[in-house]
């Protein structure tokens, strides 16, 4: 089955300011984030990519913009840019949106979000369970579509947000959602997941370095079984 490269958007102005952006419009990449987005082009230079999908929020589209400029064949819209999927959008944080993280840390709900995420529902927004369901559904549907159109060795990119990506990783690892805060994904990091009919394989988590080794090795059999003793690293 195809390999999904989950990219967290580059550092944003909200990240720098220490506020919870959520779906606030007009949150852009800061100077560091734009540099991270430019660097993504080189990090993925040796990886063939057949599709780019993104959260509709500006900071994700800006993160993919340099990659799409280098690879115009990935444009998923007649208007240019990646295919957009609202299910990959940021959590709807409701009343928490736009507030400083230091202030939110004093809220009783903060501890629930940290320690019992499956019970966390944001007032005026959505629950983390709902977030997890829509995000996992989105990537699995896209993965099946890409497999049908491009074959089992295809590689595709989806740009999303920290909590969204962590929820997808937790599902792929078979972790209960209550443990998803144990996962860390930095701005513009790449997480690689290969879905198979039997199980997902998590190949990278929060990688900020070279990604050349994620290029497909078609000559390597892909049975869907794990290699006993660990992958040998050979073709």
Domains of the chain: 3-210 (3.40.50.1240)
pTM comes to 0.90
First to last CA, the chain: 17
Tens of pLDDT, residues 119-137: 999 999 999 999 999 999 9
Q: Residue 233 above 70 pLDDT? A: no
Over residues 93-118, the pLDDT tens digits come to 999 999 999 999 999 999 999 999 99
pLDDT(231) > 60? no
Give me the residue label for tokens 């064949």.
73
β-sheet with 155-160: strand ranges across: 83-84, 51-54, 155-160, 3-8, 190-195, 200-207
φ, ψ of residue 129 to 5 degrees: the values are: -65, -45
Q: Got the DSSP string for 143-196? A: HHHHHHHH-TT-EEEEEE-HHHHHHHHHHHHT--GGGGGG----TT-EEEEEE-
- Choose among 5, 10, 91, 95: nearest CA to 48: 5
Q: Would you list the DSSP string of 24-52?
A: -TT--B-HHHHHHHHHHHHHTTTS---EE
pLDDT tens for each residue of 157-206: 999 999 999 999 999 999 999 999 999 999 999 999 999 989 999 999 99
């Amino acid at each position: 089955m195809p390999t999904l490269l989950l990219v967290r958007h580059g550092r944003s102005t909200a990240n720098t300011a220490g506020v919870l952006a959520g779906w606030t419009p007009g949150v852009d990449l800061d100077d560091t984030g734009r540099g991270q987005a430019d660097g993504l082009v080189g990090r993925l230079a040796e990886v063939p990519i057949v599709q780019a999908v993104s959260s509709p929020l500006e900071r994700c589209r800006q993160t993919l913009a340099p990659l799409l400029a280098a690879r115009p064949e990935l444009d998923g819209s007649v208007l240019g840019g990646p295919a957009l999927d609202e299910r990959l959008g940021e959590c709807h944080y409701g009343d928490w949106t736009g507030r400083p993280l230091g202030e939110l840390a004093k809220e009783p709900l903060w501890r629930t979000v940290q320690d019992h995420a499956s019970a966390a529902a944001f007032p005026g927004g959505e629950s983390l369970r709902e977030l997890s369901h829509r995000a996992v559904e989105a990537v699995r549907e896209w993965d099946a579509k890409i497999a049908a159109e491009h074959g089992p060795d295809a590689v595709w990119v989806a740009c999303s947000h920290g909590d969204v990506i962590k929820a997808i990783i937790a599902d792929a690892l078979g972790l209960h959602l209550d443990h998803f805060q144990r996962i860390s994904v930095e701005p513009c990091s790449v997480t690689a997941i290969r879905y198979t009919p039997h199980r997902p394989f998590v190949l990278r988590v929060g990688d900020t370095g070279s990604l050349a080794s994620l290029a497909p090795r078609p000559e390597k059999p892909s049975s869907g079984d794990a290699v006993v003793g660990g992958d040998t690293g050979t073709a």
